[in-house]
Structure 1
Amino acid sequence: MHVVLAGKAEHLLDNRLQALTAAVQGITIAVGANTLPRLKRGEPWYEVSVDDPRRRRARYPEAVGR
């Protein structure tokens, strides 16, 4: 999933990016985020969360027969 933050001054978008980074704890997919001004300058996506396989297995254990 990619998230683009836009519509505000860049320093306000940076604050929202930091808040998003803190809020995606425990998410089960990779999340990349960036601000629209940074994308226009060609800067790369920031990976704010990726689910750790060990943590996912602890949350959702597999059945014994699998």
Structure 2
Amino acid sequence: MPPRVRRFVAAIGVLVFLVFYVWAVIGVGDRLPDSPWIDLLFYGVAGTAWGLPLIPLLRWAERGNSGK
């Protein structure tokens, strides 16, 4: 697969993932107890953790042509 197509597929994948991730985070966040400290901790972790599941996809998108 050419690099441009791989990057396009990865970009679409990132967008789809983020839509569902944000939807899930909001859903879980609504069920948490009303406390600013819990909100700060939860949204702080959720706001930084979204990148971890995307690392394999981004590595695949930037892989050279030798990985056929």
Higher share in helix: 2
Higher share in strand: 1
Q: Which has the higher contact order (CA 8 A, sep 6+)?
A: 2
Provide the TM-score with structure 1 as the length reference: 0.37
